[in-house]
Amino acid sequence: MMRKIFYLLFIFLLFNACQNRSVPNQGLEVVSAFSDGSVKIDRRYTTLNGVKTSNYQREFYNDGQLYKEGPLKNEKPDGLWKSYYQNGTLWSEGEFDQGVRNGISRTFHENGSLYYEGTYDHAKKTGLWKFFRPDGSMIKEIDFPKK
């Protein structure tokens, strides 16, 4: 009985060792730097079967504070990207579809209150856009035609 268990275990281990299990390797690479050597742009990436694919990018101010960040697809912004004022407050957020503005877009005053919001449809402003003062009171609304 013990010999049978050992034999089955050996076959199981041999079978699993021979399978091609490509596990993605993750990393971080500096794309560009400021003249003092500090990071200006970096990207997260995965490597699978020898192919490196960038999937997230961050950009920094020269003092190291985060400037903007977001996911990538085919080396282009794809998904929700965010930008920050140098003090760390959210400046803007907007959706991209492989490098093209597509979806909701919001920009904020430095005090954190909403400055404007609206929607892009493949880089074209569409629908109702609203604009606000730093105190939150509305400045105006603009209704952009739909495609």
Closest CA to 21 of 52, 48, 51, 56: 48
Give residues with Cβ within 8 angstroms of 21, minimum separation 6.
none
> pTM of the predicted model, to two decimals?
0.79
51 lies in some domain:
yes
Q: How many domains does the chain have?
A: 1
State the residue range of the domain holding 97. 22-144
Residue 64, in any domain of the structure:
yes
Pair of tokens at residue 102: 């597509």
Please report which confidence band the pLDDT of residue 13 belongs to, taking 50, 70 and 90 as the band edges.
Answer: very low
> What per-residue string of b and e applies to 56-94 under the rule 16 or more CB within 10 Å gives b?
ebbbbeeeeeebbbbbbeeeebbeebebbbeeeeebbbb
Residue 6: pLDDT over 60: no
pLDDT in tens, 73-98: 999 999 999 999 999 999 999 999 99
- How much is the average pLDDT of 106-133? 97
Lowest-confidence region among 17-21, 48-52, 68-72, 105-109: 17-21
Rounded Cα gap, residues 2 and 7, in angstroms? 9
pLDDT, position 146: 78
CATH of the domain at 136: 3.90.930
Identify whether 12 is part of a domain: no
